Structures are given as structure tokens and as C-alpha cells.
């Protein structure tokens, strides 16, 4: 399997420990698209939100039971968290598209360290919005943080 980065993500975060999942929803950053992929940005300005699919290049190894930052106890199954240390450290973030400036996308809601390789972008659409979702153990965390 071969993955080809299409760009690089710029953010104010220099290390993963700087990122807090609840506060990062207000964080702005830029997504730089490499020149040969810029034609693929045609029409992207019509979308308010985007999925960024990225490679967690700083992750090393993984644990099937992990300690989420928002609730360190008890340990949770890795697949029930969004921790970037995974067997295949492919991660997903939904961001708000603020504007496009040629090969730069200015976004809000970034939870990625600067210099992260971008693998793909997909538009967030109405069919992605689900109702009556269950968020498992995060339901308690969100109640506490309201």
C-alpha cells in the first residue's frame, strides 16, 4: 500500500500534548495543498465544512486499551477513541472552511500538529449529518464539561 500526501497542515500546535479536543474546535489553521493537486480544489469554496484525512506522523506504536485525555480512567478500547496512535495512524478531522487563497485553505476547528501530512480532503455534506446518535462514554464527559 502506498500513500501520497497531497499537502501539509499548518496549525499553532507544535506537539500533540498541546491539543485539547474540546478547545481545538475554535483553533484556526491553514491547509497547504501541493501545486500538482491545486486543480482538485475547484468548487471547494461552495462547502462550509471539510473532512481532512491526515497521517499521524508523530504517533509511534499503539495500545488496544488507551487512556483518553478527556477521561483518563478507566482505560478505553482504542477503536472507541480518536487517539492518533493506531495500527494505521490515519486520522480524520472535520473543519470549517473560512476561505480559500489559491493553494491554501483557511480553516477553523483544527486539532492537528503543524507539519502534519494531508492525505485527502472530502466535502462534509448533509448526508453526513446523522440524528439520534449515541456517543458512548463521551456522553458523560460532555455532560461534565457543559
**Under a CB-based contact definition with an 8 Å cutoff, are residues 135 and 142 in contact?**
yes
- Ordered by start, the domain boundaries in the chain are 7-144
Tell me: cis bond preceding 102? Omega within 30 of 0 counts. no
What is the pLDDT confidence band of residue 7, given thresholds at 50, 70 and 90? very high
pLDDT digits (tens, 9 = 90+) for 82-131: 888 899 999 999 999 999 999 999 999 999 999 999 999 999 999 998 88
The torsion angles phi and psi of 40, rounded to 5 degrees, stand at: -70, -10
All three cell numbers of 132: 439520534
What is the pLDDT confidence band of residue 22, given thresholds at 50, 70 and 90? low
pLDDT digits (tens, 9 = 90+) for 36-63: 999 999 999 999 999 999 999 998 889 9
**Under a CB-based contact definition with an 8 Å cutoff, are residues 105 and 47 in contact?**
no
* pLDDT at 141 exceeding the cut of 80: no
Cα–Cα distance measured from residue 94 to residue 121, given in angstroms and rounded to the nearest whole number: 10
Q: Supply the pLDDT for residue 146.
A: 64
Please state whether beta strands 49-55 and 90-101 pair in parallel, antiparallel, or not at all (unpaired): antiparallel
What number of residues does the chain have? Answer: 146
For residue 66, give the nearest of 74, 54, 58 by alpha carbon.
74
Lowest mean pLDDT: which of 26-40, 68-82, 96-110? 68-82
pTM for this prediction:
0.88
* pLDDT at 143 exceeding the cut of 90: no
All three cell numbers of 131: 440524528
All three cell numbers of 122: 472530502
CATH superfamily of 7-144: YaeB-like (2.40.30.70)
Beta strands in the chain (DSSP E): 7-10, 28-33, 49-55, 65-66, 76-77, 90-101, 104-108, 116-123
Amino acid at each position: 500500500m502506498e500513500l501520497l500526501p497531497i499537502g501539509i497542515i499548518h496549525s499553532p500546535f507544535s506537539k500533540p500534548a498541546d491539543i485539547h479536543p474540546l478547545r481545538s474546535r475554535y483553533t484556526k489553521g491553514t491547509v497547504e495543498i501541493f501545486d500538482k493537486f491545486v486543480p482538485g480544489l475547484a468548487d471547494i469554496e461552495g462547502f462550509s465544512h471539510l473532512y481532512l484525512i491526515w497521517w499521524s506522523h508523530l504517533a509511534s506504536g499503539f495500545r488496544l486499551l488507551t487512556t483518553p485525555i478527556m477521561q483518563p480512567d478507566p482505560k478505553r478500547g482504542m477503536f472507541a477513541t480518536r487517539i492518533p496512535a493506531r495500527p494505521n495512524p490515519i486520522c480524520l478531522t472535520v473543519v470549517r472552511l473560512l476561505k480559500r487563497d489559491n493553494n491554501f485553505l483557511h480553516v477553523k476547528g483544527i486539532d492537528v500538529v503543524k507539519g502534519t501530512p494531508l492525505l485527502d480532503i472530502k466535502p462534509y455534506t448533509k448526508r453526513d449529518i446523522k440524528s439520534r446518535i449515541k456517543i458512548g462514554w463521551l456522553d458523560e464527559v460532555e455532560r461534565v464539561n457543559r
